[in-house]
Amino acid sequence: MSRDSRYLESILHHDIPLTREMGLKVLGWQDRQLQLHLPLQANINHKSTMFGGSLYCGAVLAGWGWLHLQLREEGIEDGHIVIQEGQISYPLPVTRDATVLCQAPEDKVWKRFVATYKRYGRARLTLDTWIVNEGSEEQAVAFTGQYVLHR
Task: Tell me: pLDDT of 16 over 90.
Answer: yes
**With 0-12 CB in 10 A as exposed, 13-18 as middle and 19+ as buried, what is 38?**
buried
105 closest CA partner among 125, 75, 124, 81: 125
Task: Tell me: pLDDT of 1 over 80.
Answer: no
- How many residues in the chain? 151
32 closest CA partner among 81, 62, 69, 78: 69
**Beta carbons of 24 and 37 less than 8 angstroms apart:** yes
Query: What is the per-residue pLDDT across 82-111, written as a single tens digit (0 to 9) for each?
Result: 999 999 999 999 999 999 999 999 999 999
Instruction: State the Cα–Cα distance between residues 58 and 79, nearest whole angstrom.
Output: 22
Instruction: State the Cα–Cα distance between residues 17 and 21, nearest whole angstrom.
Output: 7
Query: What is the per-residue pLDDT across 49-92, written as a single tens digit (0 to 9) for each?
Result: 999 999 999 999 999 999 999 999 999 999 999 999 999 999 99
H or E, element range at 66: helix 52-74
Structural domains in the chain? 3-150 (3.10.129.10)
Cα separations (Å) of 97 from 9, 62, 73, 100, 140? 18, 16, 29, 10, 12
Strand segments (E) across 54-138: 80-89, 98-103, 122-133
Q: How confident is the model at residue 2 (pLDDT cuts 50, 70, 90)?
A: confident
CA dihedral of residues 19, 95, 1, 11 (deg, nearest 10):
-10
